[in-house]
Protein backbone atom coordinates (compact mmCIF):
# COMPACT_ATOMS: atom_id res chain seq x y z
CA UNK A 1 0.00 0.00 0.00
CA UNK A 2 1.52 3.27 -1.12
CA UNK A 3 2.08 6.41 0.92
CA UNK A 4 -0.58 8.29 -1.06
CA UNK A 5 -3.15 5.60 -0.36
CA UNK A 6 -2.38 5.66 3.37
CA UNK A 7 -2.72 9.42 3.36
CA UNK A 8 -6.12 9.24 1.66
CA UNK A 9 -7.33 6.59 4.12
CA UNK A 10 -6.13 8.70 7.03
CA UNK A 11 -7.99 11.76 5.68
CA UNK A 12 -11.12 9.67 5.22
CA UNK A 13 -10.93 8.45 8.79
CA UNK A 14 -10.44 12.00 10.08
CA UNK A 15 -13.40 13.25 8.01
CA UNK A 16 -15.62 10.39 9.15
CA UNK A 17 -14.72 11.02 12.78
CA UNK A 18 -15.30 14.75 12.41
CA UNK A 19 -18.58 14.29 10.53
CA UNK A 20 -19.74 11.70 13.05
CA UNK A 21 -19.17 14.23 15.82
CA UNK A 22 -21.17 16.79 13.82
CA UNK A 23 -24.04 14.32 13.36
CA UNK A 24 -23.96 13.46 17.05
CA UNK A 25 -23.91 17.16 17.91
CA UNK A 26 -26.88 17.83 15.62
CA UNK A 27 -28.85 14.99 17.20
CA UNK A 28 -28.12 16.42 20.66
CA UNK A 29 -29.17 19.88 19.45
CA UNK A 30 -32.48 18.47 18.18
CA UNK A 31 -33.16 16.51 21.41
CA UNK A 32 -32.22 19.42 23.67
CA UNK A 33 -34.01 21.88 21.39
CA UNK A 34 -37.30 19.93 21.49
CA UNK A 35 -37.07 19.68 25.28
CA UNK A 36 -36.41 23.42 25.62
CA UNK A 37 -39.16 24.22 23.08
CA UNK A 38 -41.73 22.31 25.15
CA UNK A 39 -40.50 24.11 28.27
CA UNK A 40 -40.89 27.49 26.53
CA UNK A 41 -44.38 26.49 25.37
CA UNK A 42 -45.44 25.62 28.94
CA UNK A 43 -43.88 28.83 30.32
CA UNK A 44 -45.77 30.84 27.67
CA UNK A 45 -49.04 29.12 28.64
CA UNK A 46 -48.51 29.83 32.35
CA UNK A 47 -47.61 33.46 31.68
CA UNK A 48 -50.69 34.04 29.51
CA UNK A 49 -52.96 32.33 32.06
CA UNK A 50 -51.66 34.62 34.82
CA UNK A 51 -52.33 37.60 32.52
CA UNK A 52 -56.03 36.56 32.29
CA UNK A 53 -55.78 36.19 28.51
CA UNK A 54 -58.62 34.46 26.65
CA UNK A 55 -58.06 30.67 26.58
CA UNK A 56 -58.32 30.58 22.78
CA UNK A 57 -55.44 33.06 22.54
CA UNK A 58 -53.39 31.03 25.04
CA UNK A 59 -53.62 27.90 22.87
CA UNK A 60 -52.90 29.79 19.66
CA UNK A 61 -49.88 31.79 20.89
CA UNK A 62 -48.24 28.91 22.77
CA UNK A 63 -48.51 26.65 19.72
CA UNK A 64 -47.07 29.37 17.47
CA UNK A 65 -44.13 29.90 19.86
CA UNK A 66 -43.47 26.15 19.89
CA UNK A 67 -43.43 25.94 16.06
CA UNK A 68 -41.01 28.89 15.82
CA UNK A 69 -38.69 27.26 18.37
CA UNK A 70 -38.69 23.99 16.39
CA UNK A 71 -37.80 25.88 13.20
CA UNK A 72 -34.90 27.60 14.99
CA UNK A 73 -33.67 24.25 16.36
CA UNK A 74 -33.83 22.65 12.90
CA UNK A 75 -31.80 25.48 11.34
CA UNK A 76 -29.22 25.23 14.14
CA UNK A 77 -28.89 21.46 13.63
CA UNK A 78 -28.37 21.88 9.87
CA UNK A 79 -25.82 24.62 10.49
CA UNK A 80 -23.89 22.31 12.83
CA UNK A 81 -23.66 19.78 9.98
CA UNK A 82 -21.93 22.39 7.87
CA UNK A 83 -24.86 22.96 5.54
CA UNK A 84 -25.54 26.43 4.22
CA UNK A 85 -28.57 27.63 6.17
CA UNK A 86 -28.77 30.72 3.98
CA UNK A 87 -29.77 28.64 0.98
CA UNK A 88 -32.03 26.54 3.21
CA UNK A 89 -33.86 29.64 4.46
CA UNK A 90 -34.11 30.88 0.86
CA UNK A 91 -35.70 27.58 -0.19
CA UNK A 92 -38.15 27.79 2.72
CA UNK A 93 -39.01 31.36 1.73
CA UNK A 94 -39.61 30.41 -1.91
CA UNK A 95 -41.65 27.39 -0.88
CA UNK A 96 -43.61 29.52 1.53
CA UNK A 97 -44.41 32.02 -1.21
CA UNK A 98 -45.63 29.23 -3.50
CA UNK A 99 -47.72 27.73 -0.73
CA UNK A 100 -49.13 31.18 0.07
CA UNK A 101 -50.32 31.58 -3.52
CA UNK A 102 -51.88 28.11 -3.50
CA UNK A 103 -53.63 28.58 -0.16
CA UNK A 104 -54.74 32.20 -0.22
CA UNK A 105 -58.11 31.35 1.32
CA UNK A 106 -56.53 29.33 4.13
CA UNK A 107 -54.03 32.09 4.91
CA UNK A 108 -56.86 34.61 4.90
CA UNK A 109 -58.66 32.52 7.51
CA UNK A 110 -55.42 32.30 9.52
CA UNK A 111 -54.92 36.08 9.42
CA UNK A 112 -58.58 36.62 10.36
CA UNK A 113 -58.14 34.24 13.30
CA UNK A 114 -55.24 36.37 14.55
CA UNK A 115 -57.35 39.53 14.23
CA UNK A 116 -60.20 37.92 16.17
CA UNK A 117 -57.85 36.85 18.96
CA UNK A 118 -56.18 40.28 19.14
CA UNK A 119 -59.19 42.62 18.89
CA UNK A 120 -61.68 40.23 20.57
CA UNK A 121 -65.00 41.14 18.87
CA UNK A 122 -66.22 38.02 20.67
CA UNK A 123 -64.92 35.46 23.14
CA UNK A 124 -65.55 31.81 23.89
CA UNK A 125 -69.08 31.51 25.33
CA UNK A 126 -70.50 34.62 23.62
CA UNK A 127 -73.64 34.34 21.50
CA UNK A 128 -73.00 35.97 18.15
CA UNK A 129 -74.55 36.48 14.73
CA UNK A 130 -72.38 36.71 11.64
CA UNK A 131 -71.67 35.16 8.23
CA UNK A 132 -75.42 34.47 7.83
CA UNK A 133 -75.52 32.26 10.93
CA UNK A 134 -75.62 32.54 14.71
CA UNK A 135 -74.82 30.55 17.84
CA UNK A 136 -72.68 30.34 20.97
CA UNK A 137 -68.91 30.42 20.40
CA UNK A 138 -67.53 27.02 21.38
CA UNK A 139 -63.95 27.49 20.19
CA UNK A 140 -61.84 29.96 18.20
CA UNK A 141 -59.38 27.95 16.11
CA UNK A 142 -56.56 29.07 13.80
CA UNK A 143 -58.70 28.82 10.66
CA UNK A 144 -62.29 28.42 11.86
CA UNK A 145 -64.67 29.44 14.63
CA UNK A 146 -66.91 26.72 16.06
CA UNK A 147 -70.47 27.79 16.90
CA UNK A 148 -73.15 25.84 18.74
CA UNK A 149 -76.79 26.64 17.98
CA UNK A 150 -79.56 26.64 20.63
CA UNK A 151 -80.88 23.35 19.15
CA UNK A 152 -77.41 21.78 19.63
CA UNK A 153 -76.08 21.90 16.07
CA UNK A 154 -72.40 22.59 15.43
CA UNK A 155 -71.50 25.20 12.79
CA UNK A 156 -67.93 25.58 11.54
CA UNK A 157 -67.45 29.11 10.18
CA UNK A 158 -64.26 30.19 8.34
CA UNK A 159 -62.70 33.11 10.22
CA UNK A 160 -62.41 35.22 7.06
CA UNK A 161 -66.20 35.15 6.61
CA UNK A 162 -66.72 36.48 10.13
CA UNK A 163 -64.22 39.35 9.84
CA UNK A 164 -65.49 40.38 6.39
CA UNK A 165 -69.09 40.79 7.58
CA UNK A 166 -70.98 42.48 10.39
CA UNK A 167 -70.74 40.69 13.74
CA UNK A 168 -73.55 41.07 16.27
CA UNK A 169 -72.47 40.07 19.78
CA UNK A 170 -75.57 39.52 21.91
CA UNK A 171 -73.73 38.83 25.17
CA UNK A 172 -70.91 41.38 25.14
CA UNK A 173 -72.96 43.91 27.14
CA UNK A 174 -74.22 43.05 30.61
CA UNK A 175 -77.80 44.22 29.92
CA UNK A 176 -80.22 44.21 26.99
CA UNK A 177 -83.54 45.80 26.06
CA UNK A 178 -86.53 43.64 25.12
CA UNK A 179 -88.65 45.20 22.38
CA UNK A 180 -92.32 44.18 22.57
CA UNK A 181 -95.07 45.26 20.20
CA UNK A 182 -98.63 44.61 21.45
CA UNK A 183 -101.47 45.23 19.01
CA UNK A 184 -104.86 46.06 20.56
CA UNK A 185 -108.16 46.73 18.82
CA UNK A 186 -109.42 50.25 18.18
CA UNK A 187 -112.33 49.53 20.55
CA UNK A 188 -109.95 48.87 23.48
CA UNK A 189 -108.81 51.61 25.87
CA UNK A 190 -105.19 52.64 25.30
CA UNK A 191 -104.65 53.89 28.86
CA UNK A 192 -105.93 50.64 30.36
CA UNK A 193 -103.67 48.57 28.12
CA UNK A 194 -100.61 50.67 29.07
CA UNK A 195 -101.44 50.37 32.79
CA UNK A 196 -101.71 46.58 32.48
CA UNK A 197 -98.31 46.37 30.81
CA UNK A 198 -96.77 48.65 33.44
CA UNK A 199 -98.29 46.54 36.25
CA UNK A 200 -96.85 43.33 34.80
CA UNK A 201 -93.44 44.98 34.46
CA UNK A 202 -93.53 46.17 38.08
CA UNK A 203 -94.29 42.65 39.31
CA UNK A 204 -91.36 41.08 37.46
CA UNK A 205 -88.22 41.17 39.65
CA UNK A 206 -85.83 40.51 36.76
CA UNK A 207 -86.75 43.76 35.00
CA UNK A 208 -84.21 46.48 35.83
CA UNK A 209 -85.38 49.71 37.46
CA UNK A 210 -82.81 51.71 35.51
CA UNK A 211 -83.17 52.48 32.68
CA UNK A 212 -86.92 52.65 33.20
CA UNK A 213 -89.17 50.75 30.76
CA UNK A 214 -90.69 52.74 27.90
CA UNK A 215 -94.36 52.17 27.09
CA UNK A 216 -96.14 54.14 24.37
CA UNK A 217 -98.22 54.02 21.20
CA UNK A 218 -95.95 53.19 18.31
CA UNK A 219 -98.41 53.21 15.40
CA UNK A 220 -102.05 53.38 14.40
CA UNK A 221 -101.94 50.39 12.09
CA UNK A 222 -104.54 49.09 9.62
CA UNK A 223 -106.26 46.76 12.09
CA UNK A 224 -104.72 47.56 15.47
CA UNK A 225 -103.21 50.18 17.74
CA UNK A 226 -99.61 49.07 18.26
CA UNK A 227 -98.18 49.70 21.73
CA UNK A 228 -94.39 49.50 22.10
CA UNK A 229 -93.10 48.22 25.47
CA UNK A 230 -89.35 48.19 26.11
CA UNK A 231 -88.03 46.93 29.47
CA UNK A 232 -84.33 46.39 30.30
CA UNK A 233 -82.98 43.14 31.74
CA UNK A 234 -79.69 41.41 32.42
CA UNK A 235 -78.39 39.74 29.28
CA UNK A 236 -78.51 36.31 30.95
CA UNK A 237 -82.22 36.82 31.78
CA UNK A 238 -83.31 37.97 28.31
CA UNK A 239 -85.20 34.94 27.02
CA UNK A 240 -86.64 33.88 30.39
CA UNK A 241 -88.18 37.32 30.89
CA UNK A 242 -89.33 37.53 27.27
CA UNK A 243 -91.42 34.33 27.46
CA UNK A 244 -92.78 35.10 30.95
CA UNK A 245 -93.96 38.60 30.01
CA UNK A 246 -95.59 37.53 26.76
CA UNK A 247 -97.72 35.00 28.62
CA UNK A 248 -98.58 37.24 31.59
CA UNK A 249 -99.61 40.22 29.46
CA UNK A 250 -101.86 38.02 27.28
CA UNK A 251 -103.64 36.71 30.40
CA UNK A 252 -104.02 40.22 31.84
CA UNK A 253 -105.40 41.56 28.54
CA UNK A 254 -108.01 38.77 28.51
CA UNK A 255 -109.02 39.44 32.14
CA UNK A 256 -109.49 43.15 31.48
CA UNK A 257 -111.24 42.91 28.15
CA UNK A 258 -108.36 44.20 26.02
CA UNK A 259 -108.80 42.64 22.60
CA UNK A 260 -105.90 41.63 20.38
CA UNK A 261 -107.48 41.78 16.91
CA UNK A 262 -106.95 39.46 14.00
CA UNK A 263 -105.58 41.06 10.84
CA UNK A 264 -108.56 42.24 8.81
CA UNK A 265 -109.45 44.28 5.76
CA UNK A 266 -112.67 46.07 4.85
CA UNK A 267 -113.74 45.60 1.24
CA UNK A 268 -116.36 47.86 -0.33
CA UNK A 269 -118.33 46.55 -3.28
CA UNK A 270 -119.71 49.19 -5.62
CA UNK A 271 -122.20 48.19 -8.25
CA UNK A 272 -121.98 50.10 -11.46
CA UNK A 273 -125.10 50.89 -13.47
CA UNK A 274 -124.96 49.82 -17.07
CA UNK A 275 -126.64 52.23 -19.45
CA UNK A 276 -128.86 50.71 -22.07
145 has a pLDDT exceeding 50? yes
User: What pLDDT score was predicted for residue 258?
Assistant: 95
User: What pLDDT score was predicted for residue 101?
Assistant: 45
* Of 117 and 203, the one with more pLDDT: 203
| CA pseudo-torsion sign 67, 68, 69, 71 | positive
User: What pLDDT score was predicted for residue 90?
Assistant: 58
| CATH class of residue range 175-255 | alpha beta
- Reply yes or no on domain 113-169 having CATH 2.30.30.60: yes
Q: CB of 261 within 8 A of CB of 252?
A: no
Write down the domain spans for the chain: 3-102, 113-169, 175-255
pLDDT over 70 percentage in the chain: 76
User: What pLDDT score was predicted for residue 63?
Assistant: 75
Mean pLDDT of 202-224: 94
Band (pLDDT 50/70/90 cuts) for residue 105 is low
User: What pLDDT score was predicted for residue 267?
Assistant: 73
User: What pLDDT score was predicted for residue 195?
Assistant: 97
Residues 224-246 have pLDDT tens digits of 999 999 999 999 999 999 999 99
Mean pLDDT of the chain: 82
268 has a pLDDT exceeding 90? no
Of 79, 69, 81, 71, nearest to 24 by C-alpha is 81
| Residues 3-102, CATH architecture | Orthogonal Bundle (1.10)
* Of 99 and 197, the one with more pLDDT: 197
Between CA 36 and CA 49 the distance in angstroms is 20
* Of 185 and 165, the one with more pLDDT: 185
User: What pLDDT score was predicted for residue 96?
Assistant: 57
User: What pLDDT score was predicted for residue 102?
Assistant: 44
CA dist 135 → 115, 151, 163, 164, 238 (Å): 20, 9, 16, 18, 15
Q: Computed over its alpha carbons, how large is the radius of gyration of the chain? A: 35
Mean pLDDT of 173-179: 96
22-36, 136-150, 170-184: which range is least confident on average? Answer: 22-36
Residues 37-89 have pLDDT tens digits of 888 888 888 887 777 666 666 776 777 788 888 877 877 777 776 665 565 56
Q: CB of 213 within 8 A of CB of 232?
A: yes
- pTM: predicted TM-score of the whole model, two decimal places: 0.63
Amino acid sequence: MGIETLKVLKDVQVNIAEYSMNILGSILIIIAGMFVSKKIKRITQRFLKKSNVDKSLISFVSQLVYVLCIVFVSVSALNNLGMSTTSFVAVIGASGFAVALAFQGTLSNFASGILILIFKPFRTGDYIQGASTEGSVEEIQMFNTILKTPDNKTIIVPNAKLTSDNIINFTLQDRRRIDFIFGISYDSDIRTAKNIIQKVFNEEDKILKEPQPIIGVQALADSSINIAARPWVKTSDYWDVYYILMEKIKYEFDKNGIEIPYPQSVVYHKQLKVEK
